[in-house]
Structures are given as structure tokens and as C-alpha cells.
Amino acid sequence: MAPKYAPSLRGRLPPMTLLLETIFISMFAFFVEYEDPAVIRKIPLTDIYAEFQDVNAMVLLGFGFLATFLVRYSFSGAGFTLLVTSLAVQWAILLDGFLFTFHRGKIRIGMNSLATANLCAASALISMGAVLGKTNPAHLIIMALLEVTGFMANRWILQTFLKVQPIDAIMMLHVFGAYFGLMMSWVLYRSGLEPRHEKEATDRRTGLFATMGALFLWMFWPSFNSVLIGQTHLERKLQAISSTYLSLATSTVAAFFVSVVTSPRGKINMIHIQNASLAGGVAVGVAVSAVDVPWVAMVIGLSAGVVSTLGFRYLKPHLRVVFKCHDTCGVLSVHGMPGILGWAAYFLIQASRLPDITAVLGFTIYHLCTLLLTLGLSLGLGALTGILIKWNIWRPPQDRMCFDDQAYWEFPHLAVHK
Amino acid sequence: MAPKYAPSLRGRLPPMTLLLETIFISMFAFFVEYEDPAVIRKIPLTDIYAEFQDVNAMVLLGFGFLATFLVRYSFSGAGFTLLVTSLAVQWAILLDGFLFTFHRGKIRIGMNSLATANLCAASALISMGAVLGKTNPAHLIIMALLEVTGFMANRWILQTFLKVQPIDAIMMLHVFGAYFGLMMSWVLYRSGLEPRHEKEATDRRTGLFATMGALFLWMFWPSFNSVLIGQTHLERKLQAISSTYLSLATSTVAAFFVSVVTSPRGKINMIHIQNASLAGGVAVGVAVSAVDVPWVAMVIGLSAGVVSTLGFRYLKPHLRVVFKCHDTCGVLSVHGMPGILGWAAYFLIQASRLPDITAVLGFTIYHLCTLLLTLGLSLGLGALTGILIKWNIWRPPQDRMCFDDQAYWEFPHLAVHK
Amino acid sequence: MAPKYAPSLRGRLPPMTLLLETIFISMFAFFVEYEDPAVIRKIPLTDIYAEFQDVNAMVLLGFGFLATFLVRYSFSGAGFTLLVTSLAVQWAILLDGFLFTFHRGKIRIGMNSLATANLCAASALISMGAVLGKTNPAHLIIMALLEVTGFMANRWILQTFLKVQPIDAIMMLHVFGAYFGLMMSWVLYRSGLEPRHEKEATDRRTGLFATMGALFLWMFWPSFNSVLIGQTHLERKLQAISSTYLSLATSTVAAFFVSVVTSPRGKINMIHIQNASLAGGVAVGVAVSAVDVPWVAMVIGLSAGVVSTLGFRYLKPHLRVVFKCHDTCGVLSVHGMPGILGWAAYFLIQASRLPDITAVLGFTIYHLCTLLLTLGLSLGLGALTGILIKWNIWRPPQDRMCFDDQAYWEFPHLAVHK
């Protein structure tokens, strides 16, 4: 019973986190200050505080509890999300400051910085979804720091060289996070976990906790897509909020619809509902600055829900068997494909507004570049991270301890509280 | 074990949802636009965004998780709430637009429309509480669309012919939803579920999930009662918020108090706490435009808590045995009676301010009309909906599959995640 | 099985709550009014509504669900939190009004009063954490009213005689609540619960509910520390929000770090994560008006996380064995020690800004007085409350019914819903 052979975290996690915190705090001491009071009074940065809190809730309660669905891995799902977020956010504040707001040797932070950092942490949590249960916390921390670095670099390249709008660049987080995670999972593939690990299952209890997490994501997704749109563009903000809401509603209906149709006995799969309901938020998010009529948002949401549920039903098992890529939370179906769908919707909407075929052609090439660049960077860095993590020095969990909290948590069956 | 005889959802749910989405999206394409930027900039419609999110949380997490209390029906409770809300909201936006804001062939939507649509969806969820566990999702969708239609008609009649204030008309949602649901449940009565279905029970796990749902409702009820009061009536908004909060506090104390007093062994019943604690929010909501001193709100809350707990303890079993009306979630005690109590409180407060007996008499007749009309319409439509749903074409669940997730959800005891 | 000897609540709880509600409602009728519309329009008191809701969520869902961690005491944890909060808030509004805003015989309440009352209720919930499971609801109500009274008196003395800033005085709630509870727990010590009660344990299910509660506290702690800072001091508000956020991030990392290092098998303890992650919020809260650079907040958070985790690992067992003080939720480690750490941080920051040694000496004495006064009052009143509660008239639960919901809740193993 006692997992006495599970590798202790003692030799890896503490020195790594201590070192990271020392570096982070030193860098904050040298470079980071709070926003200038004069600026705050002009454009009150607390304006977006409520929306920041929504995003905060999505990251910790949403992603955290969506990751509790595995029957014996709930503590790790929620706990490691908290740990990874805590570190990723500090790193994202620094990187974002250095790349985008560095001025006279200082980074000045406000609610905007914290919100941006939370969105970047979310992209790391998406990657984490692909390898959940097969990695230890030290792996996840390395992955999160590299993913955030790569994502920031991608944003910077898109904004600097391709002149992509900041909001469009940051919304690629779904695509970047998903393919980064998938590539990493492909590199880390273990035949020992096949055909299926007995602990890779869900039950009524963890299914309900995961539903709660999914509902947090659902509810606050309008804030996720609109938080970075300033108060000076109120109509854009309102459109982003309403479009996301309507899109979520239709993708939910699509998830129920496709789940029943593709089920041999005409039943609904809760995993589909938890995940595909959110696909509308992802797709509209990526297309957010192009969508300005409600029905378009609804069509995007419906398509995303259909694609995502089909992905869960048919693609996920094939990915595993054919491509040797195991995707624990199905990030390909929730973020990967709906993200590309959103990118395509953005393209169609914008292209339909262009005056002539030359303009369309130019825009096609340009828009294709943004996607290919993001895909290339995420796949490349994901592979690299996978190779780095595969190194035995990080003491990966044995196959039989995968998807099991007992590998990392003090856990007599009924733990006495002390 | 395997529910091989439970009717498949395949023949009903998918065509119905697909048809509905096609209709909704077409209507949105023809009629619905986002609010005019000029209007948004004048009265920023994002002002109420935080409150809209609170109502959103109440609907999905509050009602959704309060409905998870049945020990084997939690997935359906949370899942069908999400499905019904997604469809009801789209329909409510359209109806609300056609009846109240249609202008030059267009419905212009903003945060206000979404908030209103959410409140209307809430009234459908209340009705759903009365028939939970005894209906399939196709039933629930039909019910929700008819309920929302009826409730909108009721609002329109009250506002147009009786000149009821919009906020007062919409707050009748508790009364409308509860009696609609009760009537439907009466029509759908099945003797096969008597004396008591073995699965109609709660346990520590689902009890705690339902408590969480109840707390979400408790917390955000001040927003529910104040979201539609505009920023131009700040003092009314503040009064609605504070009154609701104080009223919830006293109704909670009353729920504990009455639950213990009426228990033979002097113990508390968690079902009472989960539900009767909210009665104060219902009652003050219905009376919201009349309450302007704190102690009155507290007295209303206390009375509502007492009435609601007594209803759970004594009325609910009698309703079942004597009236052959089975009320799964006790909506009579949570929304029905406290709603009428709030209506009576509104009457007493307003009548006490009138100058003479003639005015009081006139107001009595007028105010009685609003209630009788609402009751009449809700009972009538509820009966009609019940008759429509009773039709065997919708494949109702067999008696032994009532209150059981296995009828609708892919559910090996430990479902493997795919 | 049937707990037939557990004392009924009938003779104590109902008369007590009825009496209290009668008194409270009468006092509200005589003294309390809603804020003057003219004032509301000038400084819209709904400005802080979203933050008030965050604090509300922390109190009910945060503290409430953090208290569900005991395997057989979850209903009591969440339920009694709701009951105690409902009563404590009413009492706190009255006391706060009489002591701080009484004007022409009236107390005028707005969002500020409700937020303050919620913070005071939080201090009672902290005390409750020390005696959770060993007291009945009547005890908890008496305790809450006395604790709120003592805390208000402490605030008043600090503000009136020592001219402490209101925000600094109210932030002593962590210190006051923790030591009040600890002293009371010391007085109420029962040797019958030693060496360890079999029911004082946690499991996967309640552990996950408690994690959810902890995450609610984590997320909304920035609002807890900033809600009472007015919109006229936007830069202070922003600093409080960002400092709390960064401090929570570092204390989370510290909790993981120390938990692993001090574990013989190199594993993480979920109890540490749930609690020590929050220590940063406590410490920065107490020091909130002094912290104005990000790295200082991060250092405070890191230290608080370390101190708190060490407290859980080493101090809590000793406190029990050596000092005969049993601290159910570990409030010493979550609020007591991090609170004093925050007080010390405040001292160091302020002292370092003073011009000369005389000023430092004066400030040292002054600042020491605020702590000693708070500690003295909380310990004294805690002892007194303990003695009062020890009285057998309140029918304490027998030793074997401690930490057990069955003593208070109607609870067949699968309760039939009625």
C-alpha cells in the first residue's frame, strides 16, 4: 500500500523553488515598482479589478478544479495548478515588463500587468493539461517557465515584426499552449502506460468537482476575452463580452448534441460537456477583434462545440494509438482545434471585408504567417522542453505511480490532521 | 446493472437542439445587433458587468449545484441546468427584444439584455426544480421554452395593461416559476414513485455540493435583486443590496431556529438550511421597490425563513400525499410561499403610505390583480406544459430510472476517461 | 449507531437565536437607516460593491469550506459558519455604528458598513477555527458575539487613544481572532480528546472541499486587504491589491517548499498548502499601509509561508502536548504568527524611514503598545469567554460526539429528502 518507492521530492523541488524565488525577488527588487500615482489617478487601474478577479478565479478554481477529474489525482490537479500559477505569474510579470513596458530601467506594474501575467499563466496551464499525471511538480515548473518564455517571445515577435494587435497576439495563448503541451507529451510518450492506465478514470465525485471547475471557466470566459480591452474601447469590450457569452451558450448545446449523437446508446458523456462547452470561448477569443455581430459568434461557438466533441470522441483515442501522443485532459480538442477554428473565423471575417483579391491574398499570407510562426515556435519549444524533462535527473514517477496522488502527497487513507 | 432499457436520447434531443439552434441563430442574424457605440459611451453598459457575472454565477453554480443534492442524480442536476440555461437565455434575449426593445426592425443587445435573459432563465430553472429527476432533457427544454414564453407574456401584460414597474414585473419570476413548476408536476404525477423512491435521497457528498450551490445563491442574491436597478437610482440600488443582505441573514437564523424546534430530536436538517436560508432573498426581491428601511427587510427575511422551513417540514409531505403533487426541490417552500409573502409585504408597506381608505381599496384590487394574473397564467401554462410533456412521444424515463444519472449519462461505475 | 445521547439543541439554540433576533431587529428599527441619498450620489457607495462581494465570498465559501476538512464534520463546518456569520454581521453593524458613525441618534449604513461588518465576522470565524468540533452552535454564537464586541472595543481603543489608522486597527483582526480563539481553546481543553480523536481526520473528499475553500480565500484576499481603502486613495488601493497578490504567490511557493523539506518521505501535506498559502495574505494585510514596493511584499509572503508551514509541522503538535491547547484548524499558524510577522514588518519598514534614533525609540514603544494591547485584550476576553462557555448549562457535546455531524444534524446514513 505504502508507495515507499515513489521518488522523494526532497532533492528536486525545494532547491529549485528556493533558487527561483531568490532570483525572482532579486529581480523584482531591482526592476519592479508599482505604477506611478499620477498615472493611476488619470486612468484608474483598479477599473479592471473585478475582471482581473474573474480571470484569477478561472486560473485557480477553473483550470485547477477541471484538473481534478482523475479519480486518484485530484490533490495534484488542484495543488500543482496553484504552485505552477504562483511561479508562472511572477516570471510572466518580469518577462512582460522587460519585453513590452521597460522604461528607464524600471517595470511599472498595475492591474494590467497582473491580468496579462494571469493570461500567460493560463497558457502554461493548458500545456500542463496534456502531460497531467505523467510528470512530477519539478517537471511542471520547468515546463511552465519555458512555456511562458516561449509564449512571451511569440507575442513579441508577432507584435514587433508582424504588427499583430496586442490582444490578437495574446489570444494565441490557446494555440501556443495546446501544441506546446502536445509536442511535449509526444516526446514523453511511455509505452508502459498503454493500453490504458487503470487509474486514468473519473468517478461521480471527481466528475462533479471537475464540472464545478468547468462552470467557473464557462462563467468567467467573457472576462478572459475582454479584460485586456481598455475602457476607451467600451463598444469593443461589450462586443467581446456578449460574443463570448453567446458563443459559450451555443457550444454547450453543440456539446450535448454531438455527445448524444455519437454515443452508441444515446447517452451524454460528462467529459464532453465539461470540455466542449468551453470550446466556444476559445474560438471566439482567438477571433475576438473581428467578431462584431451576435450571430457570427453563435455560429463560431456552435462549430467549435461540434469540432471539440468530435475530437474527444474520435481523435483523442487515435492520437494515442496512431501518433503515440497521450493527451490527458484533451487539450487538442478544447484549445488546439477550437483555437485554429477561431483563427480561421478571424480570417474569413476580415477577408470578406477587403476590397479586392490582391488585398485578400496579401492578408492570407500575412495571417497564415501568424499561425505558422506560433505553431512552429510552440512545437519546437515543446519538443525541446520534452527532451529536457525526459532527462532522468528529474526523477519522473514510475509508470505505476502515474495518475496517483500518493506519489507526491502525505496520504494515509484517512490522513490524521496535524 | 446496465441500464439497457433506459430510452436512448438519440431520437429526441439531437434533432430538437439542432432545430432550435438553427432557428435561434437565424433570428439573431435577422434581428439582433450589438448596442450602438454612441449609446454605450453615454451610459456605459459594462457598468453592470460585475453584477451580471454574479447573476451568471447564481444561475450556473447556484441553481446548478443546489440541484446536485440527489445522491445519484448530481450530473443531471448540474448538467441539465447548463443545457437549459444555454437555450433559455438565447430564447429570452429574442423574446425580451421583440416585446420590450424592438426598434426599427432590430433588437440591440447589451449587458442589460444578458442580465434580463439570465433572470428569465432563472425562472425556468425554478420550474425545473419541481420536476427534477422525473423528466428527461427533452422535457426540460420544452418546459424551459414554454415557461420563458409565458413569463415574458406575463411581464408584458403586467407592464402594458397594469402599468407595473419593470423591476416589480420581473421579480414575479419566483411566483411564476414556482407555480408553473408545481402545476406541471401535479399533471405529471406518477403513483409509481410512491411512497418514496429509494434514490430520492441525499448524502454527505452531494449534501456538501448542494450547500456550495446554496451559498453561491446566498452570496450573490443582492446582485440578483439589484442588477436591473440603474446607476441613475443609486440609492434604490444600495437599498436593494443592503435589504437583501440583511434579509438573508435573518432568514438564515430563522431556518436554523425552526429546523431545530420542529425536529423531534432537536437536530438541524441540512436541506432546510440550504433552502430556507434563501427565502429571505426571494421575499425581499418581490418587495424590493417598497422596502426602504433595514428593519423591515429583516422582519421580511425572518418571516420568510420561518414560513419556508415550516413548508419543508410539514407542507411538502402533505402536498405529496394529499394533493398528489411531488415537488423534488421544494420550490413551493423556497420560491412559491416566500414570493407571495414578499408580495404581501409590498402591499402592506405601500398601503400604509396611502392617504385614505379609498386609495387603499383601489390599491388592494390593483395589487391583487397582479398576483392573480401571474398565478392564473403560470398555473394554466404549467398545466398545458404538463399535458404536452406527458405525451409518450418524448419517452419519459421509467419509474425505476427516475432520479438516476445512469439513464442519461455514459456511466460505468468508474468511467474511463477518453 | 443512532446518537441518541447527543444533547438536543432544542432547549438552547432556538430561544437564544429568537431572543437575539428580537433584540437586533428592535435596535435596527430604532437606530439604523440607509445612507442619505445625497451622500450616495456624491460618493457612490456601490463603487466597492464588487469588492464587498469578494469579501462576502471569502467569509461564506472561503472560511466555510476551509472548515469542511474534517471527515465527519463538514456540514457543521460550512453550516455553522453561515449561522455565526449571519448573527455576527448584524451585531457588528450595530456596534460599528454606535462606536464609529453614530450621528444624531442614527446609524446610517452603506456598502462600507456591510464590508466592515464582514471583516469583523471574519475575526470571529478565525476564533471559531481554534475550537471547531469541540463546541456546539450555542457556544459558537456566544463566542462570536463576545469576540466581535471585544474586537470592536479594541479597534475603538486603538483608534481613539493611540490614534492608529482605521485600516491598521481593523487589520489586527487576524491577531485578535487567533489569540482569542487559542486562549478559549486552552480554557476548554479536554483530556478526553487525547491523544487524538479518531474522527479528527481528513480524506480525499473533504480535503478537496477544503482546498476549494482555501482557493476562494486565496483569490479574494487582495479584496480583503483593500476593500476599506477608499477610491480617493487609488494608488494605496492598487498597492494593497498587488502586494497581497504577490505575497500570496510567494507564500504558496514557500508552503510547498517547506512542506516537502520537513517531510521524512519528501511528500507534500495538503493541510499545509491549504493554510500556509494564505499566510502571505495575513502578513501583508497587517502591514498593508506600510508596504509600497513589490519585493518587500514578496519577502513578507515568503517568510510568512515558511513560518506558517513550520508552525503546522512542529508547533501545533507541541502546543497540544506541552501547553494543553488544542487548535483544530491551526489558527496560530495561519493567523496568529503571520499576523505578528506582519506587525513586525510594518515596524521595520516604518522605523527605517524615521530620521533619528529618538523617533525610532518613540515609534517602537508606540507600536509595541498597539500589539500588547490587542494581545492583552484578546487573551483576557478569550479566557473569559472560555470560562463562560465551560458552564455545563450550554450542554457541550460529549467527547465521543466531538468532530461529528451526527450530534447536530438529522443524518441517517443516506438521509431521505423531505
On whether the B13-409 domain is CATH 1.10.3430.10, my answer is yes
DSSP string, A351-380: HHTSSSHHHHHHHHHHHHHHHHHHHHHHHH
Q: Residues C86-144: pLDDT tens digits? A: 999 999 999 999 999 998 899 999 899 999 999 999 999 999 999 999 999 999 999 99
Whether residues C79 and B271 touch (CB distance < 8 A) is answered with no
Quick one: pLDDT at residue A199?
A: 83
Quick one: pLDDT at residue C193?
A: 82
pLDDT of C285 strictly over 70? yes
Contacts across the A-C interface (CB distance below 8 Å): 184
* Confidence category of residue C2, pLDDT binned at 50, 70, 90: very low
Quick one: pLDDT at residue A195?
A: 75
> CA-nearest residue of chain A to B37?
A235
Q: Which of C261, C295, C313 is closest, CB to CB, to A28?
A: C295
Number of other residues whose CB lies within 10 A of the CB of residue C10: 16
Whether residues A35 and C238 touch (CB distance < 8 A) is answered with yes
Distance from CA of A242 to the nearest CA of B (A): 7
Instruction: Residue A72: name the closest of A215, A203, A208, A210 by CA.
Output: A203
Q: Residues C185-218: pLDDT tens digits? A: 999 998 888 777 778 888 888 999 999 999 999 9
Rounded mean pLDDT, C394-404:
87
Q: How far apart are CA C180 and CA C144, in angstroms?
A: 11
The reply to whether ipTM tops 0.85 is yes
Quick one: pLDDT at residue B346?
A: 96
Q: Residues C289-336: pLDDT tens digits? A: 999 999 999 999 999 999 999 999 999 988 888 889 999 999 999 999
Residue A402 carries which DSSP code?
T
Quick one: pLDDT at residue A385?
A: 96
> CA-nearest residue of chain A to B114?
A242
* Confidence category of residue C55, pLDDT binned at 50, 70, 90: very high
Distance from CA of B28 to the nearest CA of A (A): 5
Chain centroid offset of residue A251 CA:
18
* Confidence category of residue C3, pLDDT binned at 50, 70, 90: very low
Chains with at least 3 CB pairs less than 8 angstroms from chain C: A, B
Q: Which of B237, B269, B294 is closest, CB to CB, to C46?
A: B237
Q: Which of C208, C249, C265 is closest, CB to CB, to A89?
A: C249
Whether residues A203 and B414 touch (CB distance < 8 A) is answered with yes
Which of B34, B35, B55, B204 to substitute to test the interface with A, most A CBs within 10 Å? B34
3-state secondary structure labels for all residues of chain B: CCCCCCCCCCCCHHHHHHHHHHHHHHHHHHHEEECCHHHHHHCCHHHHHHHHHHHHHHHHHHHHHHCCCCCCCHHHHHHHHHHHHHHHHHHHHHHHHHHHHCECCEEEECHHHHHHHHHHHHHHHHHHHHHCCCCCHHHHHHHHHHHHHHHHHHHHHHHHHCCCCHHHHHHCHHHHHHHHHHHHHHHCCCHHHCCCCCCCEECHHHHHHHHHHHHHHHHHHHHHHHCCCCHHHHHHHHHHHHHHHHHHHHHHHHHHHHHHHCCCCCCECHHHHHHHCCHHHHHHHHCCCCCCCHHHHHHHHHHHHHHHHHHHHHHHHHHHHCCCCCCCCCHHHHHHHHHHHHHHHHHHHHHHCCCCHHHHHHHHHHHHHHHHHHHHHHHHHHHHHHHHHHCHHHCCCCHHHCCCHHHCECCCCCEECC
| Residues in B touching A218 (Cβ below 8 Å) | 60, 82
> CA-nearest residue of chain B to A247?
B86
Whether residues C408 and B267 touch (CB distance < 8 A) is answered with yes
Quick one: pLDDT at residue A222?
A: 95
Whether residues C298 and A74 touch (CB distance < 8 A) is answered with no
Instruction: Residue A256: name the closest of B27, B386, B78 by CA.
Output: B78
Q: Which of B29, B56, B409 is closest, CB to CB, to A295?
A: B29
Quick one: pLDDT at residue B163?
A: 94
Distance from CA of C267 to the nearest CA of A (A): 5
Chains with at least 3 CB pairs less than 8 angstroms from chain B: A, C
Digits of tens for pLDDT over chain A (418 positions)?
444 456 788 888 999 999 999 999 999 999 999 988 888 877 776 778 888 999 999 999 999 999 999 999 999 999 999 999 999 999 999 999 999 999 889 999 989 999 999 999 999 999 999 999 999 999 999 999 999 999 999 999 999 999 999 999 999 999 999 999 999 999 999 888 877 777 888 888 899 999 999 999 999 999 999 999 987 888 899 999 999 999 999 999 999 999 999 998 899 999 999 999 999 999 999 999 999 999 999 999 999 999 999 999 999 988 888 889 999 999 999 999 999 999 999 999 999 999 999 999 999 999 999 999 999 999 999 999 999 999 888 888 888 889 999 899 987 644 444 4
> CA-nearest residue of chain C to A32?
C294
> CA-nearest residue of chain C to B230?
C46
3-class SS at C409? strand
* Confidence category of residue C43, pLDDT binned at 50, 70, 90: confident
Whether residues C219 and A53 touch (CB distance < 8 A) is answered with yes
Q: How far apart are CA A270 and CA A265, in angstroms?
A: 15
| Residues in A touching B64 (Cβ below 8 Å) | 215
Rounded mean pLDDT, C343-365:
94
* Entry pTM: 0.95
Chain centroid offset of residue C46 CA:
25
Q: Residues B301-338: pLDDT tens digits? A: 999 999 999 999 999 988 888 889 999 999 999 999 99
Quick one: pLDDT at residue A23?
A: 97
Quick one: pLDDT at residue C358?
A: 93
Quick one: pLDDT at residue C418?
A: 42
Is the link from the previous residue into A294 a cis peptide, with omega within 30 of 0? no
Rounded mean pLDDT, C400-417:
76
Q: Residues B97-152: pLDDT tens digits? A: 999 999 889 999 989 999 999 999 999 999 999 999 999 999 999 999 999 999 99
Q: Which of B212, B242, B266 is closest, CB to CB, to C9?
A: B266
Distance from CA of C161 to the nearest CA of B (A): 32
Chain centroid offset of residue A120 CA:
8
Whether residues A410 and C250 touch (CB distance < 8 A) is answered with no
* Confidence category of residue B1, pLDDT binned at 50, 70, 90: very low
> CA-nearest residue of chain A to C299?
A25
Distance from CA of C322 to the nearest CA of B (A): 35
Domain residue ranges in chain A: 13-409
Whether residues C61 and B200 touch (CB distance < 8 A) is answered with no
Q: Which amino acid is at B132?
A: L
Quick one: pLDDT at residue C143?
A: 96
* Confidence category of residue B200, pLDDT binned at 50, 70, 90: confident
Q: How far apart are CA A36 and CA A81, in angstroms?
A: 32
Whether residues B270 and C50 touch (CB distance < 8 A) is answered with no
| Residues in B touching A205 (Cβ below 8 Å) | 205
Whether residues A414 and C71 touch (CB distance < 8 A) is answered with yes
Rounded mean pLDDT, C150-154:
97
